[in-house]
Amino acid sequence: MAPLAPTALDAHLSVALALAEEAGNLVLSFQRDGFFVKDKGVSDLVTEADLAAEDLIRRGLEQRFPEDGFLGEEGGERRGTSGFVWVVDPIDGTVNFSRGMSEYGVSIGLRGPDGDAELGVIRLPALNRTYWAVRGGGAFCDGRQLQVSSTDRLERFVLHESDLTRTEEPARFLRRQIKSHLPLLERVLRWRVTGAAVRDLTELAEGRIDAFAIDRFHEWDVLAGWAILREAGGSMMAPDGGAATCRSPSIVFHNGTCGAEIARLLTPPPKRRSQVPVD
């Protein structure tokens, strides 16, 4: 199903959909037949499937849109002349994928000249689902239009969070993160960690969860998902309630109903100044 109205990016969307499906099939074949895994950084992995899928997507986009730039998680980067940049995560949720789980996906987003997402395509191969959106054209999953939840009580919120171990000092970071998020975690109905932003953002766009908080991430983790979520009626903000972009250090994505309350709970109170005695 195409967007609600024809747009100048219909050709871009068609190519992205085809490449996401092709890359998804490739990834599934690796998951079935086997692949090598190696360490990429602290608490981070890369597999043969990541590299092959990114190469497939990069070559396909360069052939069809040679004037566009490209930014891929596995090292593929190219400057373009059009002002548009394809932002690609060949497998978001690599650890899940490497363990035979289904919570992972292929993410293809297009950043526009204004720095925001123009379109997003996410393919969840193991679940046989495809999500897509073009700015101003609605968000869809396999022909079904998406809408965020209408939950408007924080006590009924289901909150997902990103992995909390991708840092040089994971234990210290984890303690600090949980402490800062505890006022929010104590209020919501449930909170969970899936290990794949593509899954969190699509579930938020579908109304299955109500918020997703992510820290220590990259643009390729969220750009395509943000394009889909925005068209489904979702919102994005910094933890303090300020403006955010897909390149901000921390983001809270939510359904648009309790943003101010979430920001209040995530913003630490100002430190009290010590009183200096007056002679």
Please report whether residue 169 resides in a domain: yes
Task: Give the residue ranges of the chain where pLDDT is below 50.
Answer: 1-5
Structure confidence at residue 180 (pLDDT): 87
Please report whether residue 275 resides in a domain: no
Structure confidence at residue 68 (pLDDT): 97
DSSP letters of 67-120? TSEEEETTS-EE--SSS-EEEEEEEESHHHHHTT-S--EEEEEEE-TTSSEEEE
Of 105, 126, 145, the one marking the end of a domain is 145
The total number of structural domains that make up the chain: 2
Kindly report the CATH number assigned to the domain that includes residue 136.
3.30.540.10
Per-residue pLDDT tens for 11-32? 999 999 999 999 999 999 998 8
DSSP, collapsed to helix, strand or coil, labels residue 121 as: strand
Per-residue pLDDT tens for 97-151? 989 999 999 999 999 999 999 999 999 999 999 999 999 999 999 989 999 999 9
Of 145, 166, 182, the one marking the end of a domain is 145
Of 117, 145, 173, the one marking the end of a domain is 145
Domain residue limits at 70: 10-145
Structure confidence at residue 47 (pLDDT): 86
Neighbours of 34 (CB within 10 A): 9
Structure confidence at residue 31 (pLDDT): 87
